[in-house]
Every structure is written in C-alpha cells, then in structure tokens.
C-alpha cells in the first residue's frame, strides 16, 4: 500500500542546519569547499536517471524544496533523478522530510551509462523510510532496510529520527573505500567497499547478480521516486581531496 500525503508547510524559508537561509552557503562553507546541488528554485543540475532530462511532472519545486509529487505524475514524468555531475570522494548533506508511511532513498556511485543504462537507478542507498508504518522495515535481514541504513546490506546503529513531517539531515561521507552514513549528526553506518566482508554482504543481498556492485570509482547522486511524497532541501556537497 502506498501512502501519499500533502505537506501543509514545507518550511522553505527556515534556517538550515548551518544557521544560514535554506539553499544557501555561509562564507565558511564556501571557504571549506561546499557547493550547492540544488538552488531552491530550479531543476538545474538534475535530470531523470534514464531520459537525461528533468521530468516534466512527478517532481515539483515548491517553497525551496525538491519534492517527489506522485499525484502530478503522468506519462513520461516522475522517476528517479540524478545529478548531472559525478563525484568520487565527498561529504554530502541533505535535509529531507518524509510523509507518514513513505519510502525513498539517496543513492550514490550511480552509473547511468553502464551497460546502456541497465543500471541507471542502481547504487549504494541511504534508506529513507518511515520505519513504523512502511512494511519494508520488517523485511530484509536484521533491519537492513530501515532509515539511515545501507539498503539491503547494513542495518543502522541506534539513531535519532525526528519522525514523519519533520526535517531530518542525512550525511554521507566517502573517502576512498571508507563510507559513513549519519542521521542528524549521529553515525548510523560505517563500512569499507571492495573488501571480502563487503563482497560477502553483496553476495547475500538483492544485488548479488550485479558484478562489482558498489565498487565504482565515481558516480552520480540519486534521489529516489518510490511513489511517496518526500521533500528535499539544502542539498550540498564538499569534495574531499
């Protein structure tokens, strides 16, 4: 069952975690190398993972938020969207708000060109989920499909979820083979790609038939359209040299 709700207030003019206005960078953030991936007003820098164009419907930009909007979807609209740029070593920060019962995700190391686009929406996934209402939370192994986990691979450590219709902050840090997930400042997942332990995890997952899953040197960032209303803002990235 899909749960679709409308946000009564998106809070597009609220202050971000850095204390600055939404979808802006402080002078310190600029000095530290942060760049915005969403300007709060346009779809610049984003495209559908398969068509390479921003979808004409199914997503909307409203009150400074980039929103999965299933109720507006028609033929040719919606679907997962990815960054036009590719990233290798980085720290990504995204504020997200999920509606009750919603499912979505932030994927990274997505290769939209591999095998003629066969894996255009495949990548390591920071799961976004209402753990209390969505059935996925009770599937998988030991909670490895719950909020802030590495989807179908690693369950999250104890976490602070602000709940549905509230803003949370997801952070993904990639430095070489080492990866960390954080939710609202607390580490929820930590792993190393390419190791025997990693390969064993993949072999026991739904990704086992994808050669080299999760071992791309670089890739795009993806926001998932799973058919539920989810909003994103303050999407920014700092490349790690």
| 208 neighbors 122 (Cβ within 8 angstroms) | no
Span 211-236, average pLDDT: 97
196-223 pLDDT, tens digit per residue, is: 999 999 999 999 999 999 999 999 999 9
In this structure, is residue 229 part of a structural domain? yes
State the pLDDT at residue 129. Answer: 98
CATH number at residue 132: 2.60.120.560
Instruction: Supply the range of the domain harboring residue 111.
Output: 85-239
State the pLDDT at residue 105. Answer: 98
> Which ranges of the chain would DSSP assign to H, the alpha helix?
27-31, 196-203
In this structure, is residue 205 part of a structural domain? yes
| 171 neighbors 182 (Cβ within 8 angstroms) | yes
Rounded CA-CA distance 19/169 in Å is 13
Rounded CA-CA distance 23/150 in Å is 26
The residue assigned the tokens 């040197």 is: 217
In this structure, is residue 21 part of a structural domain? no
Tokens found for residue 184: 């609202």
In this structure, is residue 72 part of a structural domain? no
Rounded CA-CA distance 146/154 in Å is 9
| 111 neighbors 185 (Cβ within 8 angstroms) | no
In this structure, is residue 90 part of a structural domain? yes
| 18 neighbors 185 (Cβ within 8 angstroms) | no
| 111 neighbors 119 (Cβ within 8 angstroms) | yes
Strands (E), the chain: 34-36, 46-48, 59-62, 65-68, 81-83, 90-98, 103-110, 124-129, 168-175, 178-183, 186-192, 220-223, 230-239
In this structure, is residue 24 part of a structural domain? no
Helix and strand numbers (H, E) in the chain are 2, 13
- How many CB atoms within 10 Å of residue 226? 17
123-156 pLDDT, tens digit per residue, is: 999 999 999 999 999 999 999 999 999 999 999 9
| pLDDT at residue 15 tops 90 | no
156-185 pLDDT, tens digit per residue, is: 999 999 999 999 999 999 999 999 999 999
| pLDDT at residue 2 tops 70 | no
Rounded CA-CA distance 96/224 in Å is 12
> Which ranges of 26-81 would DSSP assign to H, the alpha helix?
27-31
Span 48-53, average pLDDT: 95
- Residue 76 pLDDT level (bands cut at 50, 70, 90): confident
Whether the pTM exceeds 0.85: the reply is yes
Count of structural domains within the chain: 1
User: Which residue from 188, 168, 192, 160 is spatially nearest to 179, judged by alpha carbons?
Assistant: 192
Phi, psi of 78, rounded to the nearest 5 degrees? 70, -160
In this structure, is residue 199 part of a structural domain? yes
Tokens found for residue 193: 């790609």
């Amino acid at each position: 069952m899909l749960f679709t709700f409308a946000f009564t207030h998106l809070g597009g003019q609220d202050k971000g975690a850095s204390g600055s206005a939404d979808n802006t960078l402080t002078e310190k953030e600029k000095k530290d190398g942060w760049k915005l991936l969403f300007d709060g007003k346009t779809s610049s820098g984003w495209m559908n993972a398969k068509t390479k164009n921003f979808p004409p419907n199914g997503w909307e930009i409203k009150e400074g938020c980039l929103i999965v909007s299933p109720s507006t979807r028609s033929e040719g609209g919606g679907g997962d969207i990815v960054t036009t740029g590719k990233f290798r070593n980085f720290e990504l920060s995204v504020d997200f708000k999920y509606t009750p019962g919603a499912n979505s995700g932030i994927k990274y190391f997505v290769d939209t060109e591999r095998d003629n686009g066969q894996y255009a929406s495949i990548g390591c996934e920071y799961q976004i989920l209402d753990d209390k209402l969505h059935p996925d939370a009770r599937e998988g192994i030991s909670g490895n499909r719950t909020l802030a986990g590495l989807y179908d691979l690693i369950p999250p450590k104890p976490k602070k979820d602000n709940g549905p219709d509230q803003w949370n902050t997801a952070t993904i840090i990639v430095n070489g083979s080492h990866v960390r997930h954080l939710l609202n400042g607390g580490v929820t997942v930590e792993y190393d790609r390419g190791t025997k332990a990693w390969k064993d995890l993949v072999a026991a997952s739904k990704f086992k038939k994808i050669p080299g899953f999760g071992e791309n040197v670089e890739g795009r960032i993806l926001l998932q359209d799973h058919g539920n209303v989810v909003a994103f803002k303050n999407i920014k990235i700092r490349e790690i040299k």
